[in-house]
Amino acid sequence: MTLNIRTLLRATAVAAVVGAGSYAAVPAFAAEMTVEVGGAPMYPSKNIIENAVNSKDHTTLVAAVKAAGLVETLQGDGPFTVFAPVNAAFEKLPDGTVETLLKPENKEQLTTILTCHVVAADAMSDAIMGMIKDDNGAHTVETLGGCKLNAKMDGEKITLTDENGNVATVTIADVKQSNGVIHVIDTVLLPKMG
């Protein structure tokens, strides 16, 4: 069987056009620089909710945000900095705590807890580290929930201590969002008790 040059060139041209067409059909966000959280890429062109729902490490947080009615808020313009506890952080709470908080009658308490993880600013880790340094090693962070978190450095990692002494470590920093930034943390931060 002989292959003539005209057939070969035509096939190459068709392959090039098909290849170019399929590349052009790739959504713009697919070409973005992303960070992977919970097994899913986090796209800077998407908002906090659009990204968080894809993280298998944040299913409890997403369920809590829905139960508290905060989805619309966190899809808003922001900017927001969200310290996002992983599922394992919620599992460290006493047995039954999450289930109790997700009940409709506890919506106000749940909202307060969740907003203690949100700051009305776009605070990347280098800015937070700068504030810690400028404040001689400890910077007070005021949250939308009225909580005051104490930000410090533990080696190369940022830690946040709530008003009850619970310490969360930022495990993944600077997950850029269209309306702010997410810093993944390993402990749930709680409002002052008692």
- Residue 32: per-residue pLDDT: 66
Helix (H, G, I), strand (E, B) or coil at 35: strand
Percent of the chain at pLDDT > 90 equals 77
Q: What is the pTM of this model?
A: 0.82
pLDDT in tens, 89-134: 999 999 999 999 999 999 999 999 999 999 999 999 999 999 999 9
Sorted by where each begins, the domain ranges of the chain are 33-185
Q: How far are the Cα atoms of 50, 67, 75, 76 from residue 72, in angstroms, in the given order?
A: 11, 12, 5, 6
Quick one: residue 39, left, alpha or beta (phi over 0 = left, psi -120 to 50 = alpha)?
Answer: left
Look at the domain 33-185 and name its fold: FAS1 domain (2.30.180)
Token look-up 């990347």 returns 124
Determine contact, residues 178/52, Cβ cutoff 8 Å.
no
pLDDT of residue 159 exceeding 80 = yes
Closest CA to 75 of 111, 45, 47: 47
